[in-house]
């Protein structure tokens, strides 16, 4: 059948969608979901696709079970001689052996079944070199003329191996089997790990046969009923069970009669096409039926990842948005007008002489105040400097607060600690923000002087502005803006007398009240814009962390669409 076969196309799409589901954040039972994802993606490639392409392909029996349960001994006994040179490379390592009749060699040596496992048909030392060099697992395909055509056996690694790679490989191989031949022993059959696998075989409808090995002489009457009761409890009551007694091994093999019954079962399968296809179909349909809930498990885990990322992002965006808002309020709250230097500015422009001038006649104000201020340029520069540093401190305080708030909030949210990755530099503002704050405040002060010049020109008040000095007017404007929410506007000048009130009076004398309000508002917007883009630098540090730790977003829609396409193709 061609690869255009819609079911195969749908399965490929599903495997791709599974593989691109990252599940990077350690939230909830993500480890289990990752296992489901990996195992299903493998099973699609290793088993479902090749099996669907060739339903009459030889039956693959995978011999699985715990360490020392006798898998290799049984495989050797079935074949009739030791298939792997003892002590050189035992099949419990990452070079499992596939035994098949020479007629079936082309099918198994080709890349259809278990396509990601390189084949090795040469010497064991080659396999050893490859595995030891860290190149990963290989599948040794060994032809055995004694076997019947139509049936192959893999001696799988231990399901309870101490090495994770071995355990994963055992799982991968079992998921590629048409029939599990599961080995356990009289002393180990109650262990937890085998039962996890057996229950899975049951859930998936995988064809299964069990060998219970090394039964001490006379213990059969006691052990078998107990084991059978356990199987019945696991809803595995009808499973074919092959007891093997504890006997002396000869050349690493059991006496032929010990596996008589098992051998007959295997030969029966190899020679009877109908029975073989029953076994194949049971496992195939079981695996295909299990796809829906397995994909949904992965998709649900993907949704949880996306939700966690959204929550982290939203918390961060909210904190930075609030910071900008609060800062904006604080700037015009009058808070910045505290400080000795500003008091002196007040004293400077608030002398009785000036106040009188301001209150009597505008022209007088222009002349007197102008000459007054021009005569004290150092005072203006000092006030400007004080404003600069107070404002800078304020910005850094807010940025520090925002960074600390995001870090704290993230540590409390699922996945947040992992995303932060122990980076304590995120607990405060960035270096870039702190240097940026000082240059942005200076740049903003230049903005203000530009505004003053521009408005002055349009109002044809250039001469007056020059008379006062642009810098003094700029300072006065900043002072007014810092008190904007203090009620010191328009007709309230008299009530709001003080630094801001005086500054406002001066500016109103020059530009008119309405223009002063507009100037202050515009100056504030310019400042907030600069601060907002500065805060973006810090917010971006968190966005980068999120992107690095959990990206791209899980495409669970694609996963579910691929599942739908698969269901339709079925």
Ligand X SMILES: Nc1nc2c(ncn2[C@@H]2O[C@H](COP(=O)(O)OP(=O)(O)O)[C@@H](O)[C@H]2O)c(=O)[nH]1
Binding site for Mg ion (CB under 5 A): 71-72, 92
Question: For 65-104, what is the HEC assignment?
Answer: ECCCCCHHHHHHHHHCCCCCCCCCCCCCCCCCEEEECHHH
Binders of ligand X among residues 79 to 118 (CB under 6 A) are 92
Q: How far apart are CA 161 and CA 168, in angstroms?
A: 9
Residue 538 binds: one of Mg ion, ligand X, none (C-beta under 5 to 8 A by kind): none
Give Cβ neighbours of residue 8 (< 8 Å, ≥ 6 apart): 1, 49, 52, 53
User: In the complex, what is the shortest distance from the CB of residue 68 to ligand X, in angstroms, rounded to a whole number?
Assistant: 4
Nearer to ligand X, 259 or 336 (CB): 259
Please state the closest distance from residue 66 (CB atom) to ligand X, in A. Answer: 7
Asked whether position 324 contacts ligand X by CB under 6 A, the answer is: no
Instruction: Tell me which of 21, 24, 43, 72 binds ligand X, using CB under 6 A.
Output: 72
Supply the minimum distance, in Å, between the C-beta of residue 262 and ligand X.
13
Closer CB to ligand X, 92 or 503, in the complex: 92
Q: Which of 37, 214, 276, 541 binds ligand X (CB under 6 A)?
A: 214
Of positions 254, 391, 451, 481, contacts ligand X by CB under 6 A: 254
Residue 391: HSE in the Cβ half-sphere, 13 Å Cα cutoff:
29
- Cβ closer to Mg ion: 77 or 92? 92
305 interacts with, out of Mg ion, ligand X, none, CB within 5 to 8 A per kind: none
- Paired with 245 in beta bridges are 215
Using CB under 6 A as the criterion, what x/- string covers residues 172-191 for binding ligand X? -----------x--------
Which part of the chain contacts ligand X (CB under 6 A), choosing from 144-152, 242-250, 371-379, 492-500?
242-250
What are the angstrom distances between the C-alpha of 350 and each of 174, 344, 347, 355, 517?
90, 9, 5, 6, 21
User: How far is residue 253 CA from its own chain's centroid?
Assistant: 49
Closest CA to 97 of 44, 157, 161, 148: 157
Q: By C-beta, is 242 or 511 nearer to ligand X?
A: 242
What is the Cα 369 distance to its own chain's centre?
Answer: 64
* Residue 554 contacts which entry, ligand X, Mg ion, none (Cβ below 5-8 A, type-dependent): none
Using CA atoms, how far residue 86 sits from 72, 182, 326, in Å, is 11, 22, 75
In the complex with Mg ion, the residue whose CB is nearer, 71 or 530, is 71
Q: Which of 67, 187, 333, 408 binds ligand X (CB under 6 A)?
A: 67
Number of residues that bind ligand X (CB under 6 A): 18
Bond preceding residue 368 cis, omega within 30 of 0:
no
Q: Are 61 and 151 in contact (CB under 8 A)?
A: yes
* CB closer to ligand X, 92 vs 472: 92
Of residues 213, 305, 380, 471, which one binds ligand X by CB under 6 A? Answer: 213
Q: What share of the chain is helix, strand, coil (3-state, %, to 5)?
A: 65, 10, 25
Q: Is 247 in the site for ligand X (CB under 6 A)?
A: yes
User: How does DSSP classify residue 58?
Assistant: P
Q: Which does 246 bind (CB under 5 to 8 A by kind): ligand X, Mg ion, none?
A: ligand X
Using CB under 6 A, pick the residue from 37, 42, 51, 71 that binds ligand X. Answer: 71
- Beta-sheet strands, E only, within 78-195: 97-100, 119-120, 139-143, 151-155, 179-185
Pair 481, 520: CB distance under 8 Å: yes
Residues in region 46-65 near ligand X by CB under 6 A: 65
Mask for 130-159, x = binds ligand X (CB under 6 A): ----------------------------x-
Question: What DSSP character marks residue 250?
Answer: B
Shortest distance in whole angstroms from residue 81 CB to ligand X: 14
Residue position matching structure tokens 């259809």:
112
Binding site for ligand X (CB under 6 A): 65, 67-73, 92, 158, 183, 213-214, 246-249, 254
């Amino acid at each position: 059948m061609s690869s255009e076969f819609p079911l195969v196309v749908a399965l490929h799409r599903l495997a791709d969608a599974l593989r691109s589901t990252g599940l990077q954040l350690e939230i909830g039972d993500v480890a289990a979901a990752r296992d489901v994802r990996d195992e299903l993606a493998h099973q699609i490639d290793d088993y479902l696709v090749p099996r669907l392409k060739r339903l009459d392909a030889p039956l693959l029996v995978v011999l699985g079970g715990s360490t020392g349960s006798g898998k290799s001994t049984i495989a050797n006994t079935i074949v009739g001689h030791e298939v792997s040179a003892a002590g050189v490379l035992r099949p419990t390592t990452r070079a499992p052996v596939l035994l098949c009749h020479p007629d079936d060699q082309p099918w198994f040596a080709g890349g259809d079944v278990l396509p990601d496992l390189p084949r090795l048909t040469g010497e064991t030392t080659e396999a050893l070199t490859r595995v030891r060099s860290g190149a990963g697992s290989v599948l040794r395909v060994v032809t055995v003329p004694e076997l019947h055509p139509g049936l192959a056996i893999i001696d799988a690694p231990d399901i309870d191996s101490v090495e994770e790679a071995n355990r994963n490989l055992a799982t991968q191989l079992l998921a590629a089997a048409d029939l599990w031949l599961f080995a356990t022993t009289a002393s180990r059959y109650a262990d937890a790990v085998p039962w996890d696998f057996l229950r899975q075989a049951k859930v998936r409808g995988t064809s299964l046969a069990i060998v219970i090995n090394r039964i001490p002489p006379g213990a059969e009457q006691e052990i078998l009923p107990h084991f059978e009761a356990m199987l019945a409890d696991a809803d595995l009551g009808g499973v074919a069970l092959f007891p093997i007694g504890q006997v002396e091994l000869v050349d690493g093999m059991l006496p032929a009669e010990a596996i008589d019954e098992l051998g007959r079962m295997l030969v029966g399968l190899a020679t009877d096409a109908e029975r073989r296809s029953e076994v194949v179909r049971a496992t195939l349909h079981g695996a295909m039926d299990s796809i829906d809930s397995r994909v949904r498990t992965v998709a649900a885990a993907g949704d949880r990842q996306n939700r966690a990322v959204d929550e982290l992002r939203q918390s961060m965006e909210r904190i930075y948005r609030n910071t900008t808002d609060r800062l904006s309020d604080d700037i015009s709250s009058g808070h910045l007008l505290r400080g000795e230097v500003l008091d002196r500015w007040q004293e400077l422009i608030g002398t009785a002489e000036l106040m009188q001038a301001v209150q009597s006649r505008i022209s007088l104000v222009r002349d007197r105040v102008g000459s007054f201020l021009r005569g004290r340029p150092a005072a203006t520069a000092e006030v400007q400097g004080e404003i600069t540093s107070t404002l800078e401190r304020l910005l850094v305080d807010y940025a520090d607060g925002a960074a600390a708030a995001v870090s704290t909030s993230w540590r409390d949210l699922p996945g947040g600690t992992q995303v932060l990755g122990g980076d304590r530099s995120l607990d405060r503002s960035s270096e870039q923000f702190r240097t940026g704050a000082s240059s942005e405040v200076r740049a903003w002060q230049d903005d203000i002087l530009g505004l003053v010049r521009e408005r002055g020109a349009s109002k044809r008040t250039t001469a007056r502005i020059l008379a006062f000095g642009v810098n003094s007017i700029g300072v006065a404007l900043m002072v007014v803006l810092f008190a904007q929410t203090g009620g010191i506007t328009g007709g309230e000048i008299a009530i709001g007398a003080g630094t801001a009130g005086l500054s406002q009076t001066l500016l109103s004398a020059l530009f008119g009240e309405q223009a002063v309000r507009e100037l202050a508002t515009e100056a504030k917007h310019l400042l907030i814009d600069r601060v907002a883009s500065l805060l973006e630098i810090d917010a971006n540090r968190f966005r980068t962390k999120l992107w690095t730790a959990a990206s791209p977003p899980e495409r669970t829609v694609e996963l579910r669409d691929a599942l739908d396409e698969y269901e339709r193709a079925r």
